[in-house]
Structure 1
Amino acid sequence: MNSELDKVDWALLEALQADARLSYNELSRRVHVSPPTVAQRVRRLEQIGVIAGYHARVDPTIAGRPVIALVRMKCYGARCITVHPELLDDCPEVLEVVRLTGDICSVVKVAASSIRALERLLERLATYGETSSAMVLSTPVDWRPVTEPTD
């Protein structure tokens, strides 16, 4: 799929990752192609799944969920959260679940409103398998944009 992306596509992706609210006119100015071309390119990037969505980045600590933790899970079978992620649909504290290889099946990133709320969530997650958690002290690298591969 990478071969489908050219320099203009990557320039658009760079600009949109920095600010997804840019207008087609502003994108046109930045990447030096016409607004209709920008619109067509952005639609194509959306259609092929390179652009998976547009979201506001919310800081959970400022938004009332200051207790951030990573929970390592070992779960198998019918109650595995990677096989049945809908088991967590009613857990707003769960921000992300990453399926892994190795001796654990997943890592769950959570943002809780308090230590007590984290404790309740850990008790709930323990019903799906073995848990081991670590609280996040800080995030030196919070997010990075996806850039064009150099290889």
Structure 2
Amino acid sequence: MELDAVDWKILSLLQTDGRMSFTALGREVRLSAPAVTERVRRLESLGVITGFTAVVSPSRLGLPIESIVRVRVRSLDTPRFRDTVLALPQILDADHVTGDDCWLLRVVCRSMVELEDLVEVMQRYGDTTTSLVFSSHVRNRPLGPDLFTPPSG
């Protein structure tokens, strides 16, 4: 898929501010609002842009406990794990991964008691390892053309 410099600039701007108007985008990339609209629609139709969303602070909403839970699910329990655990509202992200663990889950909870209860549910399907998140230094980093350029040196 070939993206030009204008496409990348549009993607960069929208990843920083998904609410930016087509008029403001046009000013930034030196195109008319209709031309920018057409490019954004093309990027959506190609599946490059998959949606627009608000980034919400769980701690500001009363969910101060964030953790990463690694789960080694027993093979026969995988369908029930998917149906039961992955449907829980405390699960923000669930990645099926290779290695010793099968699942890497990002979880938010109101309290340590709630986290303990949640981990107990997960342990019905296999072994867990839970790590509390002290802080996040990189989250939702925008994708850019530099990922496709080999590093120099």
TM-score, normalised via structure 1 length: 0.90
Q: Which moved more, 1:32-41 or 1:85-94?
A: 85-94
Cα deviation for residue 108 of structure 1 reads 0.3
TM-superposition CA deviations, 1:102-148 (whole Å, max 9, x none): 11112100000110110111011112221110111111223311111
Contact 2:86-2:94 within 8 A present in 1 as well: no
For 2:129, what is the secondary structure of its paired residue? strand
Unaligned runs of 5+ in 2: none
2:87 is the counterpart of 1:101: no
Residues in 1 aligned to 2:51 and 2:75: alpha-carbon distance in whole angstroms:
31
> Which residue of the partner structure matches residue 150 of structure 1?
149
Q: Which moved more, 1:47-56 or 1:8-17?
A: 47-56
Residues in 1 aligned to 2:89 and 2:53: alpha-carbon distance in whole angstroms:
17
Contact 1:74-1:105 within 8 A present in 2 as well: yes
Residues in 2 aligned to 1:8 and 1:16: alpha-carbon distance in whole angstroms:
12
Cα deviation for residue 78 of structure 1 reads 4.1
Cα deviation for residue 80 of structure 1 reads 2.0
Correspondence list, 1:11-50, <5 A: 11-50=9-48
TM-superposition CA deviations, 1:34-91 (whole Å, max 9, x none): 211111111111111111111110111111110000001111434326x963433541
> Which residue of the partner structure matches residue 116 of structure 2?
119
Residues in 2 aligned to 1:116 and 1:84: alpha-carbon distance in whole angstroms:
21
The amino acid of 2:99's aligned partner reads: G
Which of residues 136, 140, 145 in structure 1 aligns to 2:137?
140
Correspondence list, 1:54-69, <5 A: 54-69=52-67
Contact 2:81-2:122 within 8 A present in 1 as well: no
Give the aligned CA root-mean-square deviation in angstroms.
1.7
Residues in 2 aligned to 1:86 and 1:12: alpha-carbon distance in whole angstroms:
38
Contact 1:80-1:129 within 8 A present in 2 as well: no
2:61 is the counterpart of 1:75: no
Cα deviation for residue 32 of structure 1 reads 0.9
Contact 1:78-1:84 within 8 A present in 2 as well: no
The amino acid of 1:147's aligned partner reads: G
Corresponding residue pairs, total: 148
